[in-house]
Amino acid sequence: MELVFVRHGQPERVVRHDGQPADPPLSEIGRQQAVAVAGWLAEMNIDALYSSPMQRALQTAQAIGDATGLRPTVRDGLSEFDRDSPAYVPMELLKETDRERWDELATGSFGDAERTSQFIAAVNHAVDAIVADHRSHRVALACHGGVVNAYLARCLGFDADSFLKFDVDYTSITRVFASSHGHRSVLSVNERTHLRGRPDLAIGL
């Protein structure tokens, strides 16, 4: 079967002072990016659609659902590693406003080995369950950059303490062929054809 990972569109910057998770929605540009990738996916004969429960991914999945007629199934294991953080700053802004934190993420880790291991295990458990349920299908997963990297780390044998190897842009597509017997083959990373000719939407590329 084919897994089609779709990173969410650009989110808003959200900083909460009450300790609650930021969980930002899509920005206006993010919503347009989601519509663009949804139109592209509508031509691919997607059989099923899954989503992280976080707003930015779920809103991206809803756009895909509107274009494909599919209803997204939410899987908690597709959540990003920052799900409980009270602040979310898009990476292109973080690079300008907190270079130290941006450099830390760019090294390929977010600084907590146990948490990293738990996150990667949760992602792989969720994706394995989807693979088992969809033999010979093409399945789209609206998720996050960390989720895509966590699964690619498994496919390519990267160490868990430095798994963030790939920049995956907003609404980019990453494809993996997978079997219920555990075989994995990476077909593509960071496809962005749907943003071609749209420099207004190509944020951070």
**DSSP characters over 142-171:** EE-HHHHHHHHHHHHT--GGG-------TT
Read off the pTM: 0.92
**What are the structural domain ranges in the chain?**
2-195
Tokens of 75: 């899987």
Q: 2-195 is classed in which CATH architecture?
A: 3-Layer(aba) Sandwich (3.40)
Which pLDDT tens digit goes with each residue over 147-158? Answer: 999 999 999 998
CA distances from residue 116 to 49, 94, 98, 123 in whole angstroms, order as listed: 26, 21, 22, 11
d(CA 76, CA 141): 12
CA angle 195, 14, 32 (to 5 degrees): 20
Per-residue pLDDT tens listing for the chain (205 residues): 999 999 999 999 888 888 899 899 999 999 999 999 999 999 999 999 999 999 999 999 999 999 999 999 999 999 999 898 888 877 767 666 766 765 666 665 566 778 888 999 999 999 999 999 999 999 999 999 999 999 999 999 988 777 888 989 999 999 999 988 889 999 999 999 999 988 888 876 5
Which pLDDT tens digit goes with each residue over 72-94? Answer: 999 999 999 989 888 887 776 76
